[in-house]
Structure 1
Amino acid sequence: MTFHRFTRYAPGAALAGAIQLALLAGPAVVTGHAAVDPLTTWCELYLGQSKGEVMAAMGDPGGHQADSLIVTVQWMHEGATTAEWNPPGAILFAAFDKDEATIKLLAYDAASGVEGSVRPTGLACDPWRAS
């Protein structure tokens, strides 16, 4: 009879345990994601991807090392918006059309700047992707 009671309540206990484990593991998972190399994340982005998806993957933009590109992008694409990230050694620049689809993903070496056309060290994908 004791075994019957155990098997009767086991699925509920397993669910409760899984929920507790998920609650405990939650912060560790977020910390692990934040530790991913930004250049690896950058290479996983693609043209046509939504601005929201890019922002979610890369985090909050910041930096002004690619300001000269903003004028050019806005001149070429009416209603375009841009974002920039500056992880160590790199300048990462994204441009989005008026419908918030990614139209440019440009990566430069921070020491050379955006005029230098030098890819950042450690970048495993094409540094200049544009539609």
Structure 2
Amino acid sequence: MTIHRFTKYAHRAALVGAIQLALIAGPCVVTGHAAADPLTTWCGLYLGQGKAEVMATMGTPNGHQADSLITAVQWMHDGATTAEWDTAGAIFFAAFDKGNTTIKLLSYDATSGVDGSVPPAGIACEPWRAS
């Protein structure tokens, strides 16, 4: 009885907290996209595509595992910007030139990380695309 009551109240508290966070953060934080499979979504992107379209397709960047890539891209391409999306099975990294055109689309296995040259399992396109 006590465990059931605790679980019930914990669930309610978590739900209320999530709603409060959404209200405080506003709609700019929540980004949705149609494709449920991130690998399929990623493979639909292409080099030369505009940054705004890539961001709209992939949603809000949420990654932080590709710092070494960010440094390398910014060293190689003056004025370049990057975005990263981390999922349970993959790390997706996009780089854009100063004109906001996609110049790199790199994907890695989440377990191996970006320092290993291991593509994510089940990817149906070239995992490392660069112009």
TM score, norm. by length of structure 1: 0.74
Alignment correspondent of 1:93: 93
The 1-side partners of 2:49 and 2:104 are apart by 10
Alignment correspondent of 2:103: 103
- The one-letter amino acid paired with 1:39 is L
**Per the alignment, do residues 97 and 115 of structure 1 end up closer, same or farther by CA in structure 2, a change over 3 Å counting?**
same
Pairing of 1:112-131 with structure 2 (within 5 A)? 112-131=112-131
More helix by share: 1
Secondary structure at the counterpart of residue 39 of structure 1: helix
Alignment correspondent of 1:45: 45
Structure 1: any 5+ residue segments left out of the alignment?
1-30
Pairing of 1:8-27 with structure 2 (within 5 A)? none
- The one-letter amino acid paired with 2:130 is A
CA apart distance, 1:70: 0.3
- The one-letter amino acid paired with 2:63 is G
TM score, norm. by length of structure 2: 0.74
The 2-side partners of 1:63 and 1:43 are apart by 18
Alignment correspondent of 1:5: none
CA apart distance, 1:63: 1.5
Secondary structure at the counterpart of residue 125 of structure 1: coil
Secondary structure at the counterpart of residue 73 of structure 2: helix
**Given that residues 91 and 113 in structure 2 are in contact (C-alpha distance below 8 angstroms), is that contact kept between their aligned partners in structure 1?**
yes
- Runs of 4 or more consecutive aligned structure 1 residues displaced over 4 Å after TM superposition: none
Report the structure number with the largest CA radius of gyration. Answer: 1
Q: Which is worse superposed, 76-85 or 62-71? A: 62-71
**Per the alignment, do residues 48 and 32 of structure 1 end up closer, same or farther by CA in structure 2, a change over 3 Å counting?**
closer
